[in-house]
């Protein structure tokens, strides 16, 4: 009887370990009036996130507002060989991706979340990805940047 309980305990611990999200290493590139608390990219299990063409990738940026903010749009860019390239982002409205929903109020925590399938057209490169959340005056209030490697999906026969 005790062995059965131990097996369930070990199994439960293994599921917990596998489901723990890896906090992504990022650089704050000029956030204003917020404290960025964490950036999580899925899939990402190292300092450089490896994402695959044709597969979904998700980002969650958690921040605490230091003042009320009128949210505007989100901008995502790739930085490759010192060139900034706009990356496709269909629904740019920050409020559409924010939990809890807008308005952004001083002292409260928020998470901006987005999932998108990585285009098959992306080159297989190492680059920096920059996410900016803009206020209604188009001034970034969140700016985070992190390294990404884009790879081809391997198909197992």
Q: Over the stretch 99-116, which tens digit does the pLDDT of each residue have?
A: 999 999 999 999 999 999
Q: Are 62 and 46 in contact (CB under 8 A)?
A: no
Cα–Cα distance, 146 to 28 (Å, whole number): 9
Domain regions of the chain by residue span: 23-151
pLDDT at residue 77 is higher than 70: yes
| Residues 127 and 30: beta-carbon distance below 8 Å | no
Instruction: Give the separation between CA 15 and CA 85, rounded to whole angstroms.
Output: 39
Domain 23-151 in CATH 2.60.40.770? The answer is: yes
Mean pLDDT across the chain: 86
Q: Kindly give the pairing relationship between strand 49-52 and strand 34-42.
A: unpaired
Q: State residue 11 phi and psi, 5-degree precision.
A: -60, -40
Model pTM above 0.85: no
- pLDDT 10s digits, 66-75: 999 999 999 9
Output the pLDDT for position 14: 31
* pLDDT at position 88: 83
């Amino acid at each position: 009887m005790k062995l059965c309980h131990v097996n369930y305990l070990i199994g439960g611990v293994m599921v917990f370990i596998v489901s723990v999200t890896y906090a992504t290493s990022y650089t704050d590139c000029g956030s204003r009036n917020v404290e960025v608390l964490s950036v999580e990219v899925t899939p990402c299990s190292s300092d450089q996130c490896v994402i695959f063409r044709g597969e979904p990738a998700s980002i969650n940026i958690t921040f605490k507002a230091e003042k009320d903010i009128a949210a505007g749009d989100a901008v995502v860019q790739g930085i490759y060989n010192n060139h900034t390239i706009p990356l496709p982002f269909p629904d740019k409205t920050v409020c559409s991706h924010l939990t809890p929903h807008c308005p952004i109020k001083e002292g409260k925590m928020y998470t901006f979340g987005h999932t998108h399938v990585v285009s098959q057209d992306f080159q297989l490169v190492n680059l920096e990805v920059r996410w900016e959340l803009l206020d209604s005056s188009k001034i970034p209030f969140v700016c985070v940047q992190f390294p990404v490697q884009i790879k081809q999906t391997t198909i197992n026969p």
